[in-house]
Amino acid sequence: MFSGRRACRGALVAAALVGVLAAATPARAEVEYFTTRSVLTAFFPKSERVTYRTLVMDGATRTRIAHRLGYAPALDRYTVFVATTEGKIDGYAVIDEENGLHQPITFATKLSPQGAVERVEIMVYREPRGDEVRDPRFRKQFEGRTARDEMRISRDIDAVSGATISSASLAVGVRRATVLVDEVMSPAKRTPAPGTVASAPSPTTYR
């Protein structure tokens, strides 16, 4: 009789533990708002073509960018999209990811020919909460920022209430986008770090 009670009690405890573990594990809530093609079309609807340049993180480039960002870039290479019309640059775009609380956030940053942020869009959001960072009022704070701006949360950028980590992640990612674009801009338009030579990778056609 007692053994039966113990078995029943053990089953209840096990069920409770499963419930606790399930509650502690965030549900995957992936929502796609843009594909690569759709976000580039939204960014550059009137551009004749969009090419891309691959910035390879070789030794010198990685060191220079790490110095500018304050941390080593995670990837071995980054892609910067370049929109042009009649040979004139209309703007740049960077599609990148930055980790949120549990999952990476995929986002796109549009920049002017001079390297200033013009628009930020969330492409894929995977966290069960915190997608308030899609609020235009939050994203608008990045407009006009360049590689010279630090974009620190609570100092330069106001975080969204209830989405502080996602807000900080986007601030880090958007600033990285400005630095990457600055790296691929022509030497006449960017200021190289002391002791370095500015050079842009050759473009490749995207559309």
CA distance 110 to 82: 10
Per-residue model confidence as pLDDT tens digits over 45-95: 999 999 999 999 999 999 999 999 999 999 999 999 999 999 999 999 999
Residue 16 within any structural domain of the chain: no
CA distance 151 to 121: 17
Residue 55 within any structural domain of the chain: yes
Residue 19 within any structural domain of the chain: no
Strand boundaries in the chain, DSSP class E: 31-32, 49-56, 77-85, 88-99, 104-111, 117-125, 204-205
Per-residue model confidence as pLDDT tens digits over 13-28: 444 444 444 444 455 5
CA distance 1 to 7: 10
Per-residue model confidence as pLDDT tens digits over 147-162: 999 999 999 999 999 8
Residue 6 within any structural domain of the chain: no
Residue 18 within any structural domain of the chain: no
Residue 48 within any structural domain of the chain: yes
Q: Is the pLDDT of residue 191 over 60?
A: no
| Helix, coil or strand: residue 60 | helix
Q: Is the pLDDT of residue 174 over 60?
A: yes
Residue 134 within any structural domain of the chain: yes
Which residue range forms the structural domain that includes residue 106?
Answer: 28-205
Total structural domains within the chain: 1
